Structure 1
Amino acid sequence: MMIVRHAAHRDLDDIYRLAQRAGESGIGLTSLPQNKEILAERITRTTRTLDGLSERCEASYLFVLEDTSIHKIVGVSAIEVAVGLNEPFYNFRVAKQVHASKALNVYKTLDTLFLSNDHTGCSELCTLFLDPEYRKNQNGKFLSKVRFLFIAAFRSFFEERLIAEMRGFSDQNGQSPFWDSLGYLFFNMDFAAADYLSGVGQKAFIAELMPRFPVYVDLLSSEAREVIAEVHPQTLPAAKVLMSEGLKYQGYVDIFDAGPTLEANTAELRAVKESRLLKVKLTEQVESTDTHFLVANDQYQDYAVLLINNKVDESETLHLTAAQAQALNIAEHDQVRVLALEKMENN
C-alpha cells in the first residue's frame, strides 16, 4: 500500500537516499541537498510546526510517500508556510521598458528583468522528488497533489497566495545558458555552486552581488533568451500537475536558471473548491471505478492520505476496506476529505 504522511526522524536515512538519487538526476534540486544535517533540520521544522512551536517564518511541512509493503520512503514533497520572512526571497520580474524619441522617430519596447522580492510572505510548494523506480501508477500526481488537499483542510495555516518555482533549463552537463550569460558575470562561480548555496540557505551573496538595476534581455546571449521561463524537460510533468490544480505563470523567473514561478490564489485552488467531506462505510470488498480519489483523514498531526479508486455511493458515502481504514487511522462513520483526480488524468 502507498501512503503519504508527515516526515519523521525515523525516515532520515531513506530521505537522504532520495537526496542522493535526486543528485544523480542533475542540478536544480537544491531543496533536497545531500546533507544529513540539513535534512534532519527539515524534519525537525515539520515536527515543531505540527506541535505549534514554530513562528510563521520557520513553519514547514515535509511529506513522505511510503511503500508500506516494505516500509520504505520512496518520495518527498513539502510546503513552506511563508517564504522570505527570515531571509529575502529573490526572483526576477519579467517586465518591459519603452525607449522612445519623437525627434528621431524611434519607439522601442525592450524586455527587462528586475530583481524582485514580490513573493515575500507567500506559501510555497517545494521539494518534490519521487524515486525513479516508483514513477508509475500515478504516484507522482499523488505525491504532488497531497499538498493541495492538506492546504484545503487547514486553510488558516497558509497564506492567500501560493507559489512554486519550476526548475529551469540546463543541459546534460548541468550547464545553464541563462546563468552563463548573466549570473556568472556577477558571481564568478559556476551554476552548481551558486544554486547549492542558495538551496542550503546561504543567500546573502545574492543581495551583495546581484545587479539592482534592470537587466535588458536583448543584451543576453540568444541561448539565454530562449530559456527564460522554460521548464526543464524532466520537470515538465510536475509543472503540468500544478497547472491542472490552478497555478499559472505570471511573469516571474528564477534568478539562477530562469525557470518560471507558478502561482495562484489559495482560494482558487481546485482542491479548495472541489474537495469534499464524506462519511466512511467499512466493507470486506469494495467496488472499483474509473475515477481515482485522494482520501485524507484530516488529522493535523497524524495526517495520512491514500490514493484509491473505490466507489462513492449515492448517499455520498465512501466504502473502504478495514486495511484502508486502519492505514488512515479512522473508523466507520468517520469523515474523510476526498478529491477526485480529473478524468483526463486517469490512465
Structure 2
Amino acid sequence: MRFIACVLLCLLGMMRPVPAADLQVVGGTAFDSNLYEALVKAQGGLVSRVSVTAKGFAWRGKLGVVQIEQQAGLKHIWDAASTEMQAGDVFVEQFFVHGITRVGKRNKLGIRTGIKFKQATRVPGEESYLRGVVDGDFFVPLGTHFISRVRFGFGGDDSRDVLLAEADYHSAGLDLVYARSRQFKAHVRFSRRWIDYDRAALVLEKSDQITALKMNQADQTSSLILGFQAYAGMLIQADYAFSRNRSNSFGYDYWSHRLQGMLVRPLFWKMDVQIFAQFHVRLYDDLVPNLIGQATETDAYEQSIGVLKMSRQISPKYVLAGQYGFYRNGARQGDGFYRKHVFSLMLEAKL
C-alpha cells in the first residue's frame, strides 16, 4: 500500500501540463476471474486501478488551438487465490499534443503526436514497451452535409520484453462522413497500414517444417469500415469493419470481420446505462502444423467482448459506477482460447 500511495502522489504532482488543465481521477477495484489470461486452470483475484488524466489548452488563437493531454495509470494485481503467484503491477504513462489549424476558409488540418510508456512487473500476459505515434487529419467539407477526411500516420514500438517483437508502422486512409444533423451521422472509411517487424519471416518447407528466412516480416493490412451514430432519447453507435492482411511470413495472412456497437441511455435518479458489444473473427489462410507445446487450432481466431456499465451522478464532480465485462479471446475451435469475467466498482472525480 505504501508503494501505491507514493505512486499516486507522484501522478497527482505530474498531471498539470498547463495551469488551466482539467483534472480527472478514476479509481476502483475489480474481481477478475482469469487474472493471467490462462487457457486452462484460470485463477481469479482482485485488481485495483487508478488513473489520472489532465487536459488543457497550451495555445488558442484565430488560426487554431493546441491542446495537451497527459495520462498516467496504475494497475495492481493482488495475490491470486490458491496460487503461488506474486502480486504484480502495470504502470502506463501517456503524453499527447494535439493541434488543429485552419487551411483556407473551410478546411482544417489536425496533427496529433504522442508517446506511451508501459511497464509490467510480474504480470504474465502483459508486455512492457515504449510507443511513439504521429497522426494527422485533413478535413475538407463537400457541400452541405458531407465531409471528407484524409488520414495519415506513422510510429513504432520499442519493446522492453524479449517475447514482444519491435515494429515500425505507417498508415494512410480516406473517410467520407455524412452529417445531416447532430442526431444522425454515418461514415465510410478505407485505410491501409504497413507494419515492419523486427523478427524473421517464416516459410513452410515441403517437409512441413517451418524455418526462418533471412528477411524480416512485413505486413500490409487493408480495411473498410462502415458505421453510424444516432441519437433519439439514447445514443447508438455501430460499425462493421472488414480487413485483409497480407504478409511475407507464413501463417500471418488472414481475413477479419469485426462488428461492434454501443448504447448509452439515461435512466432515472441521475443514472445512466451503457452497453458495449464486439464480435471479431479472424480467418487465417494457412493451417499451422502441429507444434510441440502449442495449440494447433490457429486457423481461426475470435474475440468477443460484452460490457454492461451502470453509473450515477452523486454530485456535480463525482460519479459512482459499477461494471460487468465478459471477454473471450482465442481460437474458435479446440481449447486455444481463454474466458474471463470482470466485476468492477469505480469512482470518477473531476477536479
Task: Tell which has more relative contact order, 1 or 2 (C-alpha 8 A, sep 6+).
Answer: 1
Calculate the TM-score normalised by the size of structure 1.
0.25
Calculate the TM-score normalised by the size of structure 2.
0.25
